[in-house]
Amino acid sequence: MRLAANSLSGPVEDVAGQAGHREHPPRMGFFTDTSVCIGCKACEVACKEWNEVPEDGLNLLGMSMDNTGSLGASSWRHVAFIEQPRRLARHDAGIAGLPVGPSGTEATAGIVESALRRAPRGGGELGTSPYEPGHVPAVPLADGPERTDFRWLMMSDVCKHCTHAACLDVCPTGALVRTEFGTVVVQQDICNGCGYCVSACPFGVIDRRPGDGRAHKCTLCYDRLRGGLEPACAKACPTSSIQYGELDALHERARGRLEALRASGVAEARLYGEDATDGVGGCGAFFLLLDEPAVYGLPSTPVVASRDLPAMWKAAGVAALGLLAAALSAFMEPRER
């Protein structure tokens, strides 16, 4: 058997082909344009209705209008809400001239953060299990300069369907597979809940569902795609913030959109996950962001750990030989009395 080039990292021309699919459809994906997201969360609900994903907790999180918190085993779409005392290009928030004091965003975010510190798995179960922040110590509103501007960023996050998907690489049962559309899905009849994919994902997307025991994440509505339908979230999205289609076409559209936004003064606009040379070989679901990725809870420079797998095995080999040598030498000493 021969392995194709860039099996573990780097750009891949034909992801489905690399997974053995022949005569497959073009690679399909999502382009999520956060600049037109209205934060309605239709994507979250449409996803749950179609995929019969269970409710994951009726808790007020205090993260602006976000009460989902993060992607998880029971939240395959997650709309992030970020309030910032900053300006968004030519957008005018109408703060100027009002009798305002310092912004409250730092203090409120601090309260949420300190509550998360107490949460199970450090808040990592948001999107998977209920979590009630309860009462947390108040953070006094800081003194500081008057706020002069405001913007409210919203972004519907989703599984990235990486070109080099760490979850897929590490899955020991073959439950995770690359489909003919180039997407990555969990075969629920196979997954035995080993949890390896959870630790492997550099985006914190996939998780194990308590009570069910298996790993769950966005399937990019594989079943719908098989029937020629578009994913439920993209179909519902009122403002076409979530766009579904052939990845190449989406890339082109995204670049056009980026140029238009930059031309209109949104200098911070950037694409995230579209670069085939990044640490995961580019994503099947990519985004147009209006701030740095970390602000949205995304990793700045995601890397598929398997990229370094050969080196790791090499180190392990050396260590193993070392162990063998140590054992040998332990017995090579002259026999004691």
Per CB under 8 A, contacts with another protein among 285-304 are 291-303
Q: What is the dihedral of CA 83, 34, 201, 133, to 10 degrees?
A: 30
> According to CB under 8 A, which one of 142, 248, 255, 259 is a site residue for another protein?
142
289 contacts: CB under 8 Å, gap ≥ 6: 34, 155, 269, 270, 271, 272, 296, 298
Q: Interface with another protein includes 268 (CB under 8 A)? A: no
Q: Are 246 and 64 in contact (CB under 8 A)?
A: no
Look-up of token digits 């080196």: 311
> According to CB under 8 A, which one of 28, 159, 220, 232 is a site residue for another protein?
232
Closest Cα to residue 48, out of 80, 11, 87, 75? 75
Residue list 313-332, contact with another protein (CB under 8 A) = 313, 315-324, 326-331
Binding mask 157-186 for another protein (x = CB under 8 A): ---------x-xxxxxxxxxxxx-----x-
CA dist 155 and 39 (Å) reads 7
Residue list 2-61, contact with another protein (CB under 8 A) = 2-3, 7-8, 16, 18-22, 36, 38-42, 44-46, 48-50, 54-60
| Total residues at interface with another protein (CB under 8 A) | 185
Q: Interface with another protein includes 267 (CB under 8 A)? A: no
Q: Interface with another protein includes 67 (CB under 8 A)? A: yes
Residue list 82-141, contact with another protein (CB under 8 A) = 82-83, 85, 90-118, 121-124, 126, 133, 135-139, 141
- Which letter does DSSP use for residue 332 in this model? H
Q: Are 133 and 62 in contact (CB under 8 A)?
A: yes
Query: Which residues make beta-bridge pairs with 157?
Result: 78
Q: Are 119 and 72 in contact (CB under 8 A)?
A: no
> According to CB under 8 A, which one of 238, 256, 259, 265 is a site residue for another protein?
238
Residue type for 336, please?
Answer: E
Residue type for 161, please?
Answer: H
Min. distance of Cβ 306 from another protein in angstroms? 5
Q: Are strands 285-289 and 28-33 parallel, antiparallel or unpaired?
A: parallel
Residue list 191-230, contact with another protein (CB under 8 A) = 191-196, 198-209, 212-215, 221-224, 226-227, 229
Min. distance of Cβ 274 from another protein in angstroms? 18
> According to CB under 8 A, which one of 237, 250, 266, 283 is a site residue for another protein?
237
Please choose, out of 63-71, 244-252, 266-274, 281-289, the segment that lies near another protein by the rule CB under 8 A: 63-71
Closest Cα to residue 199, out of 174, 169, 167, 173? 167
